[in-house]
Chains A and B, each alone.
Chain A
Amino acid sequence: GAGVSQSPRYKVAKRGQDVALRCDPISGHVSLFWYQQALGQGPEFLTYFQNEAQLDKSGLPSDRFFAERPEGSVSTLKIQRTQQEDSAVYLCASSYAGWSGEAFFGQGTRLTVV
């Protein structure tokens, strides 16, 4: 596609529900990152994929957070048993291998847990 696409753009979940956030990167981009952006703050790293391999998940805040990219393209970030502190914008970014170019960001998913 022309850019990184994320869906849904907005998600309201009741506390305790499971949610799944989707990221469709730019075609051919090997690297894919997920970031969490709390209200009024800068984004914080969650996890990194190179193709289908999850090479870094050090930023995932708890074992309720799980990410996958099974075919090296679309990625899904899943949050189980959502809590109010999970409310944030979740940003996805993709780039070519080698990081010689820029990372392209999607418009994010705003998750509100009520």
Chain B
Amino acid sequence: AQTVTQSQPEMSVQEAETVTLSCTYDTSESDYYLFWYKQPPSRQMILVIRQEAYKQQNATENRFSVNFQKAAKSFSLKISDSQLGDAAMYFCAYRSGGNAGNMLTFGGGTRLMVKP
């Protein structure tokens, strides 16, 4: 079974600065996807960024980018120019490839606080 570990229960960043959230995973599969989700107090999970394991290039979405180290099974999220609206719980998630019914396996989450 796959596992996802987020070792930082809480992180804090000053507005406009950069923060990196860590995630490691364990799998024996070669075909998989990795995700970062944001969960604000409204509880709705919002997809921030996704990475296909077969792609060597790190995914980027505006101020959000990842550092995908496949051999080390590491998938960190970098948030640049942090904004107050970035404050939320962030979850790293893993999904096996090849089957529409494969579920997401989530880490325990990191609470990000943004200081004005």
The tally of CB-CB contacts under 8 A between chains A and B is 60
How many of B's residues come within 8 Å of A, CB to CB? 23
CA distance A31 to B99 in the complex (A): 11
Known: A41-B108, A41-B109, A42-B109. A31 touches B44 (CB 8 A): no
- Which A12-62 residues have a C-beta within 8 angstroms of B? 30-31, 33, 35, 40-45, 48, 50, 55-56, 59
Q: List 6 A-B contacts (CB under 8 A).
A: A35-B104, A43-B106, A56-B101, A95-B100, A105-B37, A107-B42
Cβ contacts A71-103/B at 8 Å (1 or 0 each): 000000000000000000101010101110011
Known: A50-B100, A55-B101. A105 touches B108 (CB 8 A): no
Is there contact, CB below 8 Å, between B103 and A102?
no
Known: A43-B106, A99-B95. A31 touches B45 (CB 8 A): no
Is there contact, CB below 8 Å, between A42 and B100?
no
Q: Which residue of B lies closest to A107 (CB)?
A: B44
18 further interface pairs, Cβ-Cβ under 8 Å (given A42-B109, A45-B105, A105-B44): A30-B100, A42-B93, A43-B104, A45-B103, A48-B101, A50-B101, A55-B101, A56-B103, A59-B103, A91-B43, A91-B45, A99-B99, A99-B102, A102-B50, A105-B45, A106-B44, A107-B42, A108-B44
